[in-house]
Amino acid sequence: MADKPYFGSLKATDGASDFNSLNAAIRRILSMGGAPALVEVRAVSGTGLNPVGFVDILPLVHQQDGVGRTMPHGTIHGTPFARLQGGKRAFICDPAVGDIGLAIICGRDISNVKANRKASAPGSFRQCDMADAVYLGGYLNAAPEEYCGWVGSDFHVKTAGKFVVDASECDI
């Protein structure tokens, strides 16, 4: 027998009345919806001058049982990450291990779209599942050490490496 039995999501008062029972059933149904979640990046693949890649993410807010005990989520593997891109042009700033971002849970199974990178039938009848998340980065992270962007009315570029301009023509 386990040292810590699992109590499920029901509270002690959920069976006390018809109203409480109905409330518990509604609460359970609503909890199955795919709400966005803060996550931490655990692994990254497909970065740089490649098609947009994938991250392994860990939800930061733990699960909770009916008596208030918490249990961490497992890692969600193969989550597509976002890149600011239009056609053949992109601003490449891929996620890194340890970044905190947002997992947006899709309404249907996206496994076939991930594999084909085009419109596809759902891979299963799964709905609102964390396995069908996409990742948007940049929440609650530390101050950047390398960056480009506007600071006040000035535009700054700061890098620890070389600043490379590869263009057919350049006017400064």
Reading the chain (172 residues) residue by residue, the pLDDT tens digits are 456 666 677 888 888 999 999 998 888 888 777 789 999 999 999 988 889 999 999 999 998 887 888 999 999 999 999 999 999 888 899 999 999 999 999 999 999 999 999 999 999 999 999 999 999 998 999 998 998 988 888 999 999 999 898 899 988 8
Pair 72, 136 in one domain: yes
The C-alpha angle 80, 85, 91, rounded to 5 degrees, equals: 100
Quote the CA–CA distance of 114 and 55 in Å, as a whole number. 12
Pair 135, 79 in one domain: yes
Token pair listed for 8: 């499920």
Pair 26, 73 in one domain: no
DSSP 8-state assignment for residue 131: G
Pair 129, 79 in one domain: yes
Q: What pTM, to 2 d.p., does this model score?
A: 0.81
Q: What is the chain's alpha carbon radius of gyration, rounded to the nearest angstrom?
A: 22
Pair 14, 94 in one domain: no
Pair 111, 131 in one domain: yes
Judge whether 40 and 57 are in contact, CB under 8 Å.
Answer: yes
Pair 15, 74 in one domain: no
Domain count, the chain: 2
